[in-house]
Copies of this chain bind each other. A is one copy, B any other.
Protein backbone atom coordinates (compact mmCIF):
# COMPACT_ATOMS: atom_id res chain seq x y z
CA UNK A 1 0.00 0.00 0.00
CA UNK A 2 2.13 2.84 1.30
CA UNK A 3 5.83 2.73 2.12
CA UNK A 4 4.92 3.49 5.68
CA UNK A 5 2.68 0.46 6.00
CA UNK A 6 5.20 -1.69 4.14
CA UNK A 7 7.79 -0.80 6.74
CA UNK A 8 5.44 -1.67 9.57
CA UNK A 9 4.55 -4.98 7.98
CA UNK A 10 8.16 -6.01 7.49
CA UNK A 11 9.03 -4.90 11.01
CA UNK A 12 6.10 -6.95 12.24
CA UNK A 13 7.34 -10.07 10.47
CA UNK A 14 10.84 -9.56 11.86
CA UNK A 15 9.78 -8.90 15.45
CA UNK A 16 7.54 -11.95 15.55
CA UNK A 17 10.24 -14.15 14.04
CA UNK A 18 13.45 -12.92 15.66
CA UNK A 19 12.51 -10.52 18.43
CA UNK A 20 12.61 -6.76 18.87
CA UNK A 21 16.29 -6.41 19.74
CA UNK A 22 17.40 -8.63 16.86
CA UNK A 23 15.78 -6.73 14.03
CA UNK A 24 17.41 -3.68 12.49
CA UNK A 25 16.72 -0.90 10.03
CA UNK A 26 19.19 -2.65 7.74
CA UNK A 27 16.96 -5.75 7.70
CA UNK A 28 13.97 -3.68 6.66
CA UNK A 29 16.08 -1.86 4.11
CA UNK A 30 17.10 -5.13 2.43
CA UNK A 31 13.57 -6.51 2.41
CA UNK A 32 11.95 -3.36 1.12
CA UNK A 33 14.59 -2.16 -1.32
CA UNK A 34 14.99 1.33 0.06
CA UNK A 35 17.94 2.69 2.03
CA UNK A 36 18.18 2.79 5.81
CA UNK A 37 18.05 6.58 5.91
CA UNK A 38 14.75 6.58 4.03
CA UNK A 39 13.13 4.58 6.79
CA UNK A 40 13.98 7.36 9.22
CA UNK A 41 11.88 9.71 7.14
CA UNK A 42 8.80 7.64 8.04
CA UNK A 43 9.87 6.72 11.57
CA UNK A 44 12.42 8.98 13.26
CA UNK A 45 13.45 6.26 15.70
CA UNK A 46 13.16 2.54 16.30
CA UNK A 47 10.92 3.34 19.23
CA UNK A 48 8.40 5.22 17.07
CA UNK A 49 8.38 2.32 14.62
CA UNK A 50 7.80 -0.08 17.48
CA UNK A 51 4.93 2.06 18.71
CA UNK A 52 3.34 2.12 15.25
CA UNK A 53 3.64 -1.66 15.13
CA UNK A 54 1.91 -2.09 18.46
CA UNK A 55 -0.75 0.44 17.45
CA UNK A 56 -1.54 -1.71 14.43
CA UNK A 57 -1.97 -4.77 16.63
CA UNK A 58 -4.25 -2.80 18.95
CA UNK A 59 -6.28 -1.68 15.95
CA UNK A 60 -6.56 -5.25 14.66
CA UNK A 61 -7.51 -6.57 18.08
CA UNK A 62 -10.27 -4.00 18.43
CA UNK A 63 -11.61 -4.88 14.98
CA UNK A 64 -11.52 -8.58 15.82
CA UNK A 65 -13.41 -8.16 19.07
CA UNK A 66 -15.92 -5.68 17.65
CA UNK A 67 -16.73 -7.19 14.29
CA UNK A 68 -18.64 -10.24 15.48
CA UNK A 69 -19.96 -9.17 18.84
CA UNK A 70 -23.36 -10.59 17.90
CA UNK A 71 -22.14 -13.94 16.64
CA UNK A 72 -22.07 -17.08 18.72
CA UNK A 73 -19.34 -17.34 21.37
CA UNK A 74 -17.88 -20.45 19.75
CA UNK A 75 -17.39 -18.57 16.50
CA UNK A 76 -15.86 -15.62 18.27
CA UNK A 77 -13.35 -17.73 20.13
CA UNK A 78 -12.44 -19.64 16.98
CA UNK A 79 -11.72 -16.32 15.32
CA UNK A 80 -9.53 -15.42 18.26
CA UNK A 81 -7.66 -18.71 18.07
CA UNK A 82 -7.13 -18.34 14.34
CA UNK A 83 -4.79 -15.40 14.96
CA UNK A 84 -2.46 -17.64 16.92
CA UNK A 85 -2.81 -20.38 14.35
CA UNK A 86 -1.66 -18.07 11.57
CA UNK A 87 1.36 -17.10 13.68
CA UNK A 88 2.21 -20.75 14.10
CA UNK A 89 1.99 -21.37 10.37
CA UNK A 90 4.52 -18.57 9.85
CA UNK A 91 6.89 -19.87 12.52
CA UNK A 92 6.17 -16.77 14.58
CA UNK A 93 5.30 -16.13 18.20
CA UNK A 94 2.74 -13.58 19.37
CA UNK A 95 3.67 -9.93 19.85
CA UNK A 96 2.82 -9.83 23.53
CA UNK A 97 5.14 -12.74 24.27
CA UNK A 98 7.90 -11.46 22.03
CA UNK A 99 7.91 -8.03 23.62
CA UNK A 100 7.34 -9.24 27.18
CA UNK A 101 10.70 -11.03 27.27
CA UNK A 102 12.47 -7.88 26.06
CA UNK A 103 10.28 -5.49 28.05
CA UNK A 104 12.91 -4.00 30.31
CA UNK A 105 15.20 -3.12 27.40
CA UNK A 106 12.60 -0.83 25.84
CA UNK A 107 11.69 2.78 26.44
CA UNK A 108 8.87 3.52 28.84
CA UNK A 109 6.45 4.73 26.15
CA UNK A 110 6.69 1.39 24.39
CA UNK A 111 6.31 -0.53 27.62
CA UNK A 112 3.09 1.35 28.21
CA UNK A 113 1.83 0.55 24.72
CA UNK A 114 2.47 -3.16 25.03
CA UNK A 115 0.74 -3.22 28.42
CA UNK A 116 -2.20 -1.57 26.77
CA UNK A 117 -2.31 -4.22 24.04
CA UNK A 118 -2.15 -7.02 26.60
CA UNK A 119 -5.02 -5.47 28.50
CA UNK A 120 -7.18 -5.17 25.38
CA UNK A 121 -6.61 -8.80 24.43
CA UNK A 122 -7.29 -10.02 27.94
CA UNK A 123 -10.52 -8.11 28.32
CA UNK A 124 -11.71 -8.99 24.82
CA UNK A 125 -11.27 -12.68 25.52
CA UNK A 126 -12.83 -12.26 28.96
CA UNK A 127 -15.96 -10.87 27.31
CA UNK A 128 -16.23 -13.80 24.92
CA UNK A 129 -15.85 -16.28 27.77
CA UNK A 130 -18.36 -14.44 29.91
CA UNK A 131 -20.95 -14.42 27.15
CA UNK A 132 -20.30 -18.08 26.40
CA UNK A 133 -20.73 -19.04 30.00
CA UNK A 134 -23.99 -17.11 30.31
CA UNK A 135 -25.40 -18.64 27.14
CA UNK A 136 -24.39 -22.13 28.20
CA UNK A 137 -22.08 -22.59 25.21
CA UNK A 138 -19.01 -22.76 27.44
CA UNK A 139 -18.43 -24.65 30.67
CA UNK A 140 -15.70 -23.69 33.13
CA UNK A 141 -15.59 -23.07 36.84
CA UNK A 142 -13.04 -20.23 37.03
CA UNK A 143 -14.16 -16.64 36.80
CA UNK A 144 -13.99 -15.40 33.19
CA UNK A 145 -10.93 -13.19 33.60
CA UNK A 146 -8.94 -15.97 35.21
CA UNK A 147 -10.00 -18.36 32.48
CA UNK A 148 -8.93 -15.79 29.91
CA UNK A 149 -5.54 -15.57 31.61
CA UNK A 150 -5.19 -19.36 31.47
CA UNK A 151 -6.06 -19.47 27.79
CA UNK A 152 -3.87 -16.59 26.64
CA UNK A 153 -0.87 -17.92 28.52
CA UNK A 154 -1.52 -21.37 27.05
CA UNK A 155 -1.60 -20.01 23.50
CA UNK A 156 1.30 -17.62 23.95
CA UNK A 157 3.37 -20.35 25.56
CA UNK A 158 2.31 -22.88 22.95
CA UNK A 159 3.73 -20.73 20.16
CA UNK A 160 7.05 -20.52 21.97
CA UNK A 161 7.37 -24.04 23.37
CA UNK A 162 6.28 -25.73 20.15
CA UNK A 163 9.29 -24.14 18.45
CA UNK A 164 11.36 -26.38 20.72
CA UNK A 165 9.32 -29.56 21.04
CA UNK A 166 7.12 -30.13 17.99
CA UNK A 167 4.86 -27.96 15.85
CA UNK A 168 2.10 -30.42 16.47
CA UNK A 169 2.14 -29.56 20.18
CA UNK A 170 0.66 -26.17 19.38
CA UNK A 171 -2.40 -27.75 17.80
CA UNK A 172 -2.67 -30.25 20.63
CA UNK A 173 -2.85 -27.41 23.14
CA UNK A 174 -5.33 -25.42 21.06
CA UNK A 175 -7.57 -28.46 20.71
CA UNK A 176 -7.41 -29.25 24.42
CA UNK A 177 -8.43 -25.72 25.39
CA UNK A 178 -11.44 -25.90 23.09
CA UNK A 179 -12.53 -29.32 24.30
CA UNK A 180 -12.23 -28.24 27.92
CA UNK A 181 -14.64 -25.34 27.56
CA UNK A 182 -17.16 -26.91 25.18
CA UNK A 183 -17.77 -30.27 26.84
Contacts and interface: CB of A to CB of B under 8 A. Distances in A.
B153 A102 contact: no
A157 B153 contact: yes
Interface string A144-171: 0010011011111110110111000100
Interface stretch (A2-10, A38-46, A65-73, A113-121): A113-121
Interface residues of A, number: 41
B153 A161 contact: yes
Interface of A: 17-19, 21-22, 91, 93, 96-98, 100-105, 114-115, 118-119, 122, 142, 146, 149-150, 152-158, 160-161, 163-165, 169, 172-173, 176
Main secondary structure of the interface of A (DSSP, over half): helix
Contacts of A158: 149, 153
A101 B19 CA distance: 6
A110 to B, nearest CB: 12
A100 B67 CA distance: 33
Contacts of A22: 21, 102, 105
The 7 closest A-B pairs by CB, nearest first: A153-B157, A100-B160, A118-B164, A157-B157, A22-B105, A21-B21, A156-B157
A163 B18 contact: no
